[in-house]
Amino acid sequence: MKYEIRKNVREISYKNRMQIKQGCTLEQNNQDPEVIKSFDDKDEALNELKSYNSDICKLSGGAGAYYAVTEYYVEENEYDEDGEWVSGGDVWEFSEIKIELVEKPSYETLGVYSDMESAENALNDYERENEVYLSF
């Protein structure tokens, strides 16, 4: 049994940005996750995962604005003596998503959110006179 830290990337259109939350990179059929590290012990893998953070980048292309979301997670997999996959796929934990609501001109962080819907709700509910924005 191996506990692997895996990296997965997904592009999410601006229209579907509310789907950005923990685990969102696994919600697609054409995944090609990268194995970053492999552990024999689950607790070691989970402890190492704490050093990774999810990343969100807002980009634009021919089809308009979109987000590239990178997540890390610990997945349990069983392999045979030849290193061939036997079974598994259970995800134990994801890296943390941090979306900050930041106020200008002080650049004070007003809140930290783990999903786009909560972050945008906070942004829309902001009622002070200074400008605010979301930082990933």
* Closest by CA position to 69, among listed 33, 20, 135: 20
Q: Domain ranges for the chain, please list them.
A: 2-96, 98-136
pLDDT tens for residues 68-82?
999 999 999 999 888
The answer to whether 92 and 26 have CB atoms below 8 angstroms apart is no
pLDDT tens for residues 2-47?
999 999 999 999 999 999 999 999 987 667 899 999 999 999 999 9
Whole-angstrom Cα distance, residue 134 to residue 98? 10
Measured CA angle at 30 (ends 73, 88), to 5 deg: 45
pLDDT score for 10: 94
- HEC string of 66-133? EEEEEEEEEEEEEECCCCCEEEEEEEEEECECCEEEEECCCCEEEEEECCHHHHHHHHHHCCCCCCEE
More confident residue, 55 or 88: 55
pLDDT score for 30: 62
pLDDT score for 123: 95
pLDDT score for 51: 96
Q: Is 6 helix (H, G, I), strand (E, B) or coil?
A: strand
